[in-house]
A = this chain, B = another copy of it.
């Protein structure tokens, strides 16, 4: 029996992916850049079964219909690629706190792609594996690699893939995941980005924003300029959320708590700490800080938000 067990980590986008130019192929309107994180990951095992249907397990239970349907769609794609009709059992364990605002679909589809690559003995390169993972979830593209990763938007299935910028960054970067609200998000990222693309009068400018921010970010990474990395990530995050805010009708992923944490980050920065924020399609905040300032920033966050679930994160590895 083939050992297909594969582990993939979540990633946080520092230059955001927001908008698909091809919904079926998950081709984005822009490049994006992320940091793979060590703390949160998904482990997936697959094997062939002699059955009429696939069997999808999530965290030791049979998965619900919505999750199963999304996985089945991906299994069908991989079967087609391999001219196979064999049924598959998928066992997924998410080591991601519920609704941490760290997309389990990123680590999930990266791990699933990696596991199926082994099961079908496809021997895909990591580049091709990132293309395959992309078909499951856009952000999964980037979770194939560790450290800082760039997703090249491409123009078709072949040219849209991730590339490792720096898999083992020699940079004292740390993140704090601050979970203030673990309610399920009301607007999925798929729906949110579609609304932004279709209705925000500023969306036309977004690709230019990303291009400029990405260029600055790559330079900041080469210079190991952690302050600048944080500032660019924060600015880019605000631009992404401004697209939602200017959608018609407007929507936002932020809650009152989100703004309170943003305010605390501003205060910490004014007091000389390295602290910037980035926020995805949910109310929770990730604070970008340094090894030197991590303990102080964490203490301040916990003192101000005793209810929050605060987790320290550092750069993590690619799939294995």
- CB closest residue in chain B, given A212: B201
What are the residues of chain B within 8 A of A260 when measuring CB–CB? 256
CB distance from A314 to the nearest CB of B (A): 27
Most central of A212, A239, A254 by chain B CB within 10 Å: A239
Bound Cα distance from A246 to B246, whole angstroms: 12
A235: interface (CB < 8 Å): yes
What are the residues of chain B within 8 A of A238 when measuring CB–CB? 245-246, 250
Q: Which of B204, B241, B250, B259 contacts A259 (CB 8 A)?
A: B259
Bound Cα distance from A248 to B254, whole angstroms: 20
Bound Cα distance from A307 to B245, whole angstroms: 28
Q: How many copies does the complex hold?
A: 2
Q: Which of B205, B234, B249 contacts A201 (CB 8 A)?
A: B205
A76: interface (CB < 8 Å): no
Given contacts A201-B209, A238-B245, A256-B256, 7 further A-B contacts (CB under 8 A): A201-B212, A202-B242, A204-B205, A234-B250, A235-B249, A242-B245, A259-B259
Q: Is the CB of A246 within 8 A of B256?
A: no
Q: Is the CB of B256 within 8 A of A235?
A: no
What are the residues of chain B within 8 A of A208 when measuring CB–CB? 201
Secondary structure of the A contact surface, majority rule: helix
Question: Within residues 198 to 237 of chain A, which ones have a CB less than 8 A from any CB in chain B?
Answer: 201-202, 204-205, 208-209, 212, 234-235
Bound Cα distance from A239 to B201, whole angstroms: 8
Q: Is the CB of A246 within 8 A of B242?
A: yes
**4 nearest A-B pairs in the assembled complex, by CB-CB distance:** A242-B242, A202-B202, A201-B209, A242-B246
Question: Within residues 238 to 278 of chain A, which ones have a CB less than 8 A from any CB in chain B?
Answer: 238-239, 241-242, 245-246, 248-250, 254, 256, 259-260, 263
CB distance from A2 to the nearest CB of B (A): 49
CB distance from A239 to the nearest CB of B (A): 5
What are the residues of chain B within 8 A of A263 when measuring CB–CB? 256
- CB closest residue in chain B, given A204: B205
Bound Cα distance from A122 to B256, whole angstroms: 53
What are the residues of chain B within 8 A of A209 when measuring CB–CB? 201-202
CB distance from A228 to the nearest CB of B (A): 12
What are the residues of chain B within 8 A of A249 when measuring CB–CB? 235
Bound Cα distance from A239 to B199, whole angstroms: 12
CB distance from A130 to the nearest CB of B (A): 28
What are the residues of chain B within 8 A of A246 when measuring CB–CB? 235, 238-239, 242
